[in-house]
Structure 1
Amino acid sequence: MNVVLFKPSQRPAAVVAPLEPPRRDIAGVPVAALTRDEALALIDHAFDGGNHLHLAYCNANLVNIAARDAGLRERLARFLVLPDGIGVDIASRLLYGTAFPANLNGTDFTPAILAAREHPLSVMLLGGRPDVAERAAAKLRADYPQHHFSVLSHGYFGPDEEAALLARLAHERPDLLLVAFGNPRQEKWIADRIDSRHCAVAAGIGALFDFLAGEVARAPESFRTLRLEWVYRLWLEPRRLWRRYVVGNPAFLLRVLRQKLAGHSA
């Protein structure tokens, strides 16, 4: 079933987006093959009272983690998983003969969701180190004054605090919940704790709060244009990220090649 989800006043032309998006299996993770506007349409549909939505962004690192974690793969099957980065694009070319229609990484696509939405949204932030979410919320308020931003908690709350956080979330029920625990904790927490009582859309957004708060620098535009932001991040934080990229990227490509040789491609 195809539904026109935008009003002409909101975008230059109406976008027809499938409520069940086409997905491509990337080493066991079902990644949606959508244009930027189609993805925005599905999220708008949830904001406007459609199905409650869990949102994840899939890069090579998340695929590597999911390959070793059947529980994570089962949870991600219930998410709208969007393609993040050049790694999954390479995988899509190898397996399906074409790249994904758009690179929808959470650092850039989350602001796109906020910018595209004219009707005011309530947005709640959860995660990061103490004070980081507050500074991220202040930056978002300055950039998107049409929306309301609040902080639920930093990411270091204890098990005894969780029930109160969930109760507050259910009471306030924001349109958008941004969860920054890192992979795979944020995806598992959203899958296991969050449902339609708590928000319209729950998104795991990784390091976004750190970028917004100025804790971590974004790569220069030239790196982003060339899809090499991961190289810049590795240069900035080699001790923390060398295993993810230097070891993880070749492991990811091997997984994709094994999938191709096994015949699991379109």
Structure 2
Amino acid sequence: MPASSSSAYKQSAETLLAADEPVVPVLPVLGMPVHDLGWNQALALIEQKLTSQQGFTHIAFLNANNANVMVRDPEYREVLGRCLVLPDGIGVDIAAHFIHGGRFRANLNGTDFVPASLTFIAKPLRIGLLGATSQVLQAAAVNFRKHTPWHEFIEISDGYFDRADPALILKRIEMARIDLLLVAMGTPLQEKWVDRHLTADHARVVISVGALLDFVSGRVTRAPGWVRHLRLEWLYRLWLEPNRLWRRYILGIPVFLGHVLSHRLRQPPAPLG
């Protein structure tokens, strides 16, 4: 997240929340509306969702890999269409520039956006963690508590529960009286599971976070700051885990760019603004 004072963020939040219905602009990527927000606006929006007494919001992220999944999986596309979708990574910036002539205001990837949101929101929240392995889940909870000790973190379950019979997990979530639930079960499973099973009875906001718990736990190392600044964290991850990620990046990036080119040729560019 760009360096800036918390007071500046709070001022932006007050400005945005002053409106009854804040206008949230979008830039569609391959037909999927992706919210085009700066950091201040995005943090204010999630604070509004979390402190509201009503409603249910499922937040997901769109990057090049998720977009490839979306193209071949109509059910996943439908689920994303019911989410508040945020831009993740340089791939969707390239797509936005090619399709619309402009890029997203901020790279709101979950690995940065979720910790920044927890820091930004001063009101203590009850935050549930669901997914990953039990070891990763426990380590992530410990580090989250160090990062934002005013929030309460509840370890719901690792990601290896019986998905054919989720009643026990759903009851556990409901009984925990959670404000925010972070679900880390991988795309597209996590988004579909949330969409199928969770409602406002379980949490005000649910975020499908992918590999976030791996990073927070320390199991996977983040790229150095200068690498992230150059928007090359994907290359760093590929270097760390080539056997697992080569298909996603070596094959997936050209496939994604092919989808973008095909989409651009099929329809004229949409005007910005």
Q: Which moved more, 1:10-19 or 1:85-94?
A: 10-19
Of 75, 84, 90, the match for 2:88: 84
TM score, norm. by length of structure 2: 0.91
CA contact (8 A) 1:55 1:202 kept: yes
Per-residue CA deviations over 1:56-78 (Å, capped at 9, x if unaligned) read 01110000000001111111111
Distance 1:161 1:263, change over 3 A: closer
CA contact (8 A) 2:16 2:22 kept: no
SS at match of 1:30: strand
SS at match of 2:130: strand
Structure 1 counterpart of 2:162, one-letter code: G
Structure 1 counterpart of 2:47, one-letter code: D
Q: Between Structure 1 and Structure 2, how many residues are aligned?
A: 259
Counterparts of 1:100 and 1:227, CA distance in 2: 13
CA contact (8 A) 1:30 1:76 kept: no
* Cα deviation, residue 265, structure 1: 2.8
CA contact (8 A) 2:89 2:231 kept: yes
Whether 1:171 and 2:172 are equivalent positions in the alignment is: no
* Cα deviation, residue 21, structure 1: 2.1
What is residue 16 of structure 1 aligned with on the other side? 16
CA contact (8 A) 1:28 1:67 kept: no
CA contact (8 A) 2:9 2:40 kept: no
CA contact (8 A) 1:127 1:181 kept: yes
* Cα deviation, residue 9, structure 1: 9.7
Structure 1 gaps, min length 5: 1-7
* Cα deviation, residue 20, structure 1: 5.4
What is residue 154 of structure 1 aligned with on the other side? 158
Distance 1:19 1:74, change over 3 A: farther
Q: Which moved more, 1:244-253 or 1:160-169?
A: 160-169
SS at match of 1:99: coil
Counterparts of 1:62 and 1:160, CA distance in 2: 24
Structure 2 counterpart of 1:123, one-letter code: I
CA contact (8 A) 1:45 1:51 kept: no
Counterparts of 2:33 and 2:155, CA distance in 1: 31
CA contact (8 A) 1:126 1:152 kept: yes
What is residue 261 of structure 1 aligned with on the other side? 265
SS at match of 1:123: strand
Alpha carbon RMSD of aligned pairs, Å? 1.6
* Cα deviation, residue 10, structure 1: 7.0
TM score, norm. by length of structure 1: 0.93
What is residue 41 of structure 2 aligned with on the other side? 38
Counterparts of 2:177 and 2:27, CA distance in 1: 32
Q: Which moved more, 1:43-52 or 1:239-248?
A: 43-52
* Cα deviation, residue 29, structure 1: 2.3
Whether 1:142 and 2:146 are equivalent positions in the alignment is: yes
Distance 1:171 1:257, change over 3 A: same
Structure 1 counterpart of 2:16, one-letter code: V
